[in-house]
């Protein structure tokens, strides 16, 4: 077990803030978890909470447990790695694959595949979600970035939080969207009755969610192909906002129409573009992924049916 001792040279309002400045290799959330687990001591007494005040001369001992092996097993599952270097990888996730284990799912996830395919993953997400910076839904396809070390993870997560990482999705919507482009800005939270679902809630009752959209093609009054740009990253955000517009994503089993024209395994929603800044070089990088075959086939059929609609 690694032990680190720090002596405060000034007052701090919070213990976790003091430690985050002293132990620069540890995130504040990691420190908070260490406090909760009883691994932090102040003046010889076990710290009770992360918000404890620190005074000049206080001695803070931090006990770091030995690194443990990933609890998730590596599985030889084919995945589409679009790009990778020593800092991160970009993966084109297929529809139907869960990103990480949880809720009874212990294998067959993207994390299981990543542990086999990549030489390293960051540890910030813990043993359950190594390398995972952000997620996309099980039945949504497309691009997501995976961190291979903690420094890269912090940089990439910061870009998402600061909205400098651009994420663009394509979705086929039910009906004919009236406006060519716009912004949906609401609060999103758990549905008040159906707790499995998310919902648009009154202001202040959920988390702020912002989605920009632009019509790409129209197919009569039947369907609209749209481009969505995420300004925030709430659970099911695009799907909830599309339904809020009155035009849910085609094939969406949760927020879509009960009667569907096409037999699909999930929503026609695809993360098509990812733009980010390289954590080490500062280079601005752009990655794209074409629509999956099942999505493209429907678009081609609609283009033939409505050749003049744009």
29: domain CATH number? 3.10.290.10
Residue carrying structure tokens 């716009």: 182
Catalytic residues: 137
The mean predicted confidence, pLDDT, of the chain is: 91
194 — pLDDT class (breaks 50, 70, 90): confident
- Residue 61's contacts (CB-CB under 8 Å, 6 or more residues apart) are 3, 4, 5, 6, 40, 41, 42
Q: Rounded CA gap, 154 and 157, in Å?
A: 5
Domain end: 161, 181, 196, which one?
A: 161
For 181-214, give the DSSP string. EEEEEEEEEE-SS-TTSEEEE-TTSSEEEEEEEE
The domain in which residue 274 lies consists of 166-305
Domain end: 114, 130, 161, which one?
A: 161
pLDDT in tens, 45-64: 999 999 999 999 899 998 88
pLDDT at 70: 53
Answer yes or no: is pLDDT of 25 > 90.
no
pLDDT at 7: 87
Count of alpha carbons within 13 Å of 74, Cβ hemisphere only? 11
Dihedral of CA 147/153/157/162: which sign?
Answer: negative
118: domain CATH number? 3.30.2350.10
pLDDT at 65: 73
Assigned domain for 71 exists: no
Q: How many domains does the chain have?
A: 3
Q: Rounded CA gap, 244 and 87, in Å?
A: 38
pLDDT in tens, 254-277: 999 999 999 999 999 999 999 999
Is the domain of 120 the same as that of 174? Answer: no
Residue carrying structure tokens 């005040």: 53
């Amino acid at each position: 077990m690694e032990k680190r001792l720090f002596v405060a040279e000034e007052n701090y309002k919070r213990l976790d803030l003091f430690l985050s400045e002293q132990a620069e290799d540890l995130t504040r959330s990691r420190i908070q978890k260490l406090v909760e687990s009883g691994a932090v001591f102040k003046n010889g007494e076990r710290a009770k909470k992360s918000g404890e005040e620190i005074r000049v001369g206080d001695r803070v001992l931090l006990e770091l447990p030995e690194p443990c092996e990933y609890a998730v097993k590596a599985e030889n599952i084919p995945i589409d790695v679009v790009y990778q270097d020593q800092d991160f990888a970009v993966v084109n996730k297929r529809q139907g694959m869960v990103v990480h284990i949880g809720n009874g799912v212990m294998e067959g996830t993207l994390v299981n595949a990543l542990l086999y395919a990549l030489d390293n993953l960051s540890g910030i997400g813990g043993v359950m979600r190594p390398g995972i910076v952000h997620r996309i839904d099980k039945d949504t396809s497309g691009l997501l970035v995976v961190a291979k070390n903690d420094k890269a993870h912090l940089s990439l997560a910061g870009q998402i939080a600061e909205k400098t990482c651009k994420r663009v999705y394509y979705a086929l919507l039910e009906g004919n969207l009236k406006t060519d482009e716009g912004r949906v800005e609401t609060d999103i939270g758990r549905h008040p009755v159906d707790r499995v679902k998310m919902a648009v809630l009154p202001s202040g009752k959920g988390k702020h969610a912002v989605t920009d959209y632009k019509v790409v093609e129209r197919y009569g009054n039947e369907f609209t192909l749209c481009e969505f740009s995420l300004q925030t990253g709430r659970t099911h955000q695009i799907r909830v906002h599309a339904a809020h517009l009155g035009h849910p994503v085609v094939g969406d089993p949760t927020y879509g129409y009960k009667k569907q024209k096409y037999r699909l395994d999930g929503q026609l929603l695809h993360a098509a573009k990812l733009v980010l800044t390289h954590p080490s070089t500062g280079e601005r990088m752009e990655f794209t992924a074409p629509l999956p075959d099942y999505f493209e086939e429907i678009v081609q059929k609609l283009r033939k049916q409505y050749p003049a609609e744009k």
